[in-house]
Structure 1
């Protein structure tokens, strides 16, 4: 009886026997569980399950619960990257919980003022352009335009748009190129100007309208502001929760 090894073996056998004899927690299938299963099914399919269908769903739920509990008992959730990420995502979702009703009209107004630059439309250009391939064509084309010929029938055929309406400088760059956009400052409203060069060739351009920088009215983007303000508060809530948790943990870098 004084042999440590013998005691170690006996204690091990006892613990094994207790573990094997201990019944797992009962899986309770009550009215609340059935109602939750039926509601989830209705949400996914749009129809309520009949009695036979509900019995089948409950059977599947019990099967899933048994496998879930056994997986936890075997420790399959530990050191699993997928489970780890899923749990972190779920906790993050809970930590981001923010009541939309907590956002007041004053909050929206203040957020709008602070971020007004994000809701300001830049200068936009409306212009018409005549495209031609050879620089030597310029004088003849200008004469036709000044004589009042139909500008849409003047110049060479092209897949480029002949008219752009209320486009920003960035949009013009994406359509007609950086070189063309760099010459926008030289355009004159209502007057044909050229030759304007681009990577495609040559253009004669008329500025039809210049729309100045304008702020989007709060009333038109209120829903967008609420959504963005909610997202900002959710991220702040998550950061605050993280800082609160960090006070409870010691991080050691080795």
Structure 2
């Protein structure tokens, strides 16, 4: 058989390409775009076809590059970034023209966040002490510290009678150890100043309240928990209190900013909402089976 000539090989390759479905798709797409371009004689507004990258845009891109790489960009690098900026703007404009932003939950949420950010951006001013003092006084429930209790405890052997328990308490108050009367457990023998939820979370509900009735600096009890009976010595007890601004200034300022942001956000929304006539559906009809 004589060898295949180059033109025969090229012809075979062309025939295979013509049979490819993907090639058919590109041919049809090109024809449709061409037909659309011919039939659509509506001139685009100048502002939609003119894309200007200003000197300020270029300086901003250069500054972003320098902030990331700790050096100014080269001419080639800046030219590439401008090209990417142009690519992004072209795609965004064409996407908006096609309405791709409509009914897109991600885009709508992002636009809402930007509007709220514009509204709240004025809250970054430094708050005066008088402003924060007033905020602290107006919202004591947000900053009040709960009552705290610190204590030591010994988990008693279950076999001890009431009289023996009293003897163990007397030995402990005399500065002696509990000896064999104590039962080994993973519970901490001493607790620093802690609020109710921490104490009850460790020893069981009601343990914090039981400690309230006990004297300070003296072993007493027993106090019952799901683990057994405990002899307890309260070492510190602190009542609920409202700290001074000097103690919690950062927390108060953060809470003040959050409160002002929320108020500004709602006020701004109500102002914007007043521009619209809102027509709502009949909810009963919507929910009717």
Same fold (TM over 0.5): yes
- The offset of 1:71, in angstroms, is 0.8
Q: Aligned ranges for residues 187-198 of structure 1 at < 5 Å?
A: 187-198=214-225
Q: Is the 8 A contact 1:152 1:162 kept in 2?
A: no
Q: Is the 8 A contact 1:188 1:207 kept in 2?
A: yes
Match of 1:221 in 2: 248
Q: Aligned ranges for residues 8-87 of structure 1 at < 5 Å?
A: 16-19=40-43, 24-43=48-67, 45=68, 47-51=70-74, 52-87=76-111
Q: Aligned ranges for residues 137-216 of structure 1 at < 5 Å?
A: 139=164, 141-142=168-169, 144-150=171-177, 155-216=182-243
Match of 2:138 in 1: 114
- The offset of 1:147, in angstroms, is 4.6
Find out whether 1:134 has 2:158 as its counterpart: yes
Map Cα deviations across residues 83-125 of structure 1 (whole Å, 9 max, x no partner): 1111111111112222433733321221121123433322211
The 2-side partners of 1:137 and 1:35 are apart by 85
Match of 1:244 in 2: 271
The 2-side partners of 1:142 and 1:18 are apart by 97
Helix, strand or coil: the match of 1:182? Answer: helix
The 1-side partners of 2:179 and 2:160 are apart by 19
The worse-fitting range, judged by mean Cα deviation, of 180-189 and 241-250 is: 180-189
- The offset of 1:200, in angstroms, is 2.0
The 2-side partners of 1:213 and 1:148 are apart by 31
The 1-side partners of 2:148 and 2:248 are apart by 20
Please, which runs of 5 or more residues in structure 2 have no aligned partner? 1-36, 282-289
The higher radius of gyration belongs to 2
RMSD of aligned Cα (Å): 2.8
Map Cα deviations across residues 128-173 of structure 1 (whole Å, 9 max, x no partner): 0001351526625335424532359861222211111111122211
Residues 61, 135 of structure 1: CA spacing in aligned structure 2 closer, same or farther, 3 A cutoff?
farther
Q: Is the 8 A contact 1:179 1:199 kept in 2?
A: no
* TM-score under structure 2 length normalisation: 0.74
Aligned length: 242
- The offset of 1:209, in angstroms, is 1.6
Question: Which one of the candidate residues 107, 116, 123 is aligned to 1:92?
Answer: 116
